[in-house]
């Protein structure tokens, strides 16, 4: 792939000369792993007042991000640039942020078009590079000597800066809240550098500066595609059409039930947005009557059996609101002989009813569904 040649040029370029301000060049890396699969790899270089990174992802396809940041004497950003390339080396887009006291000029280029806009950005704002921790350590440096702090991040999509926060949680653990996203748990060393993170089950580790050309070959040889592809299952039961829309996470070598899906806790029953049940007529689901319409499906897995939760809050993502519950229904759980790699929902017609089932790893939970 042509991306090998692009990466080689980036990885071997000489440090930027900074005259009297130049310090020794420090290089490091970060690796993102979901179970047995490596998702992203990043090489970060710091030389004086210049911080740069080369970020390679394979989700949903192989892409390369090259970014650089020019820092002021106080560590604040003066200028940020990023170029995004496809696996072939073709440039998809580029972005430049020029920082002022309380604003930023965001210039985005794609093909022959250029869009430039001035946005509110309080002093010290940081760009939020997707799946990148190179710039995040600038915020951690500001936490030194404090228990918590707030800072502002800029989505590279061109929105105004949004509040974020860091807070110590005891020992070497720090909690990170980026915008309104779920909290990320970080572990840091004595110098405040990230050594480990858990981002909704994706584990990030600090590693020696990686050989990006090597990793480009690894990613190209085995693309991952979407981590949790969307799927639907549909059945006609007694003249009633029943559909379930969901996303299918994979096991990837992990322990599922009692591991990434805790026992005795509400689970969103899939990945990404909420799993949704749609019916054009009222249904009898187990011992509960569910009116026609669209509903979010949550579950509570336990070793002894499962509870199916039918909830009105469709599109809730990872959020569950018990006040929106329509019904809680007992499901029968059993062990299946063959391990199932990817979460699977089934709707199996059985005469006047259907069996709604959830299967993953070696566990299947099921309940009957019929027209009311």
- What integer is the mean pLDDT of 53-81? 92
- Flag whether pLDDT at 8 surpasses 80: no
Q: What is the pLDDT of residues 203-261, one digit of tens each?
A: 999 999 999 999 999 998 888 889 999 999 999 998 999 999 999 999 999 999 999 99
Distance of alpha carbon 165 from the chain centroid:
18
Looking at per-residue pLDDT, the higher value among 303 and 24 belongs to 303
Lowest mean pLDDT among 47-51, 154-158, 269-273, 327-331: 154-158
pLDDT, the chain, mean: 90
Confidence at 192, pLDDT banded by 50, 70, 90:
confident
DSSP state letter for 225: -
Task: Kindly tell me the number of DSSP H helices and DSSP E strands found in the chain.
Answer: 3, 24
| pLDDT surpassing 80 at residue 82 | yes
Region 70-82: what's the mean pLDDT? 91
Q: Tokens 């990686």 sit at which residue?
A: 210
Give the pLDDT of residue 23. 63
Q: Is 239 helix (H, G, I), strand (E, B) or coil?
A: coil
pLDDT digits (tens, 9 = 90+) for 85-141: 988 889 999 999 999 989 999 999 999 999 999 999 998 899 998 888 988 888 998
Please tell me the distance from the alpha carbon of residue 184 to that of residue 265, in angstroms, as a whole number: 19
Q: Alpha-carbon distance 140 to 149, whole Å?
A: 9
Q: What is the pLDDT of residues 254-299, one digit of tens each?
A: 999 999 999 999 999 999 889 999 999 999 999 999 999 999 999 9
- Largest Cα–Cα distance in the chain? 82
CA distance linking residue 318 with residue 52, whole number of Å: 33
pLDDT confidence of residue 316: 64
Element (H, E) at 343: strand 325-350
Q: How much is the pLDDT for 20?
A: 36
């Amino acid at each position: 792939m042509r991306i090998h040649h692009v990466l080689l040029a980036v990885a071997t370029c000489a440090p930027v000369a900074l005259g009297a301000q130049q310090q020794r060049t420090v290089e490091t890396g970060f690796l993102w792993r979901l179970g047995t699969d490596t998702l992203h790899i990043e090489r970060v270089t710091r030389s004086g007042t210049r911080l740069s990174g080369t970020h390679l992802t394979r989700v949903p396809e192989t892409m390369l991000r090259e970014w650089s940041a020019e820092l002021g004497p106080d560590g604040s950003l003066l200028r940020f640039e990023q170029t995004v390339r496809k696996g072939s080396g073709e440039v998809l887009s580029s972005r430049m942020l020029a920082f002022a006291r309380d604003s930023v000029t965001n210039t985005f280029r794609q093909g022959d078009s250029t869009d430039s806009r001035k946005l509110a950005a309080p002093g010290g704002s940081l760009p939020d590079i997707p799946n990148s921790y190179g710039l995040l350590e600038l915020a951690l440096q500001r936490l030194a000597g404090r228990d918590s702090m707030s800072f502002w991040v800029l989505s590279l999509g061109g929105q105004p800066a949004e509040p974020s926060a860091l807070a110590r949680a005891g020992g070497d653990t720090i909690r990170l809240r980026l915008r309104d996203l779920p909290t990320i748990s970080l572990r840091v060393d004595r110098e405040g550098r990230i050594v480990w993170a858990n981002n909704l089950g994706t584990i990030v580790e600090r590693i020696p500066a990686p050989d990006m050309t090597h990793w480009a070959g690894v990613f190209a040889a085995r693309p991952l595609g979407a981590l949790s592809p969307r799927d639907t299952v549909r059945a006609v039961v007694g003249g009633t059409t029943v559909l379930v829309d969901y996303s299918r996470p994979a096991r990837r070598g992990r322990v599922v039930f009692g591991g990434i899906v805790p026992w005795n806790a509400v689970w969103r029953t899939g990945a990404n947005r909420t799993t949704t049940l749609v019916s054009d007529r009222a249904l009898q689901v187990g011992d509960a009557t569910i009116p026609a319409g669209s509903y979010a499906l949550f579950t509570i897995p336990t070793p002894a059996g499962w509870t199916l939760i039918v909830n009105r809050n469709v599109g809730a993502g990872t959020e569950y609101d018990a006040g929106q519950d329509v019904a809680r229904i007992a499901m029968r759980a059993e062990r299946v002989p063959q391990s199932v790699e990817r979460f699977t929902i089934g709707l199996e017609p059985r005469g006047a009813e259907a069996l709604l089932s959830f299967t993953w790893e070696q566990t299947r939970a099921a309940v009957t569904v019929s027209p009311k």
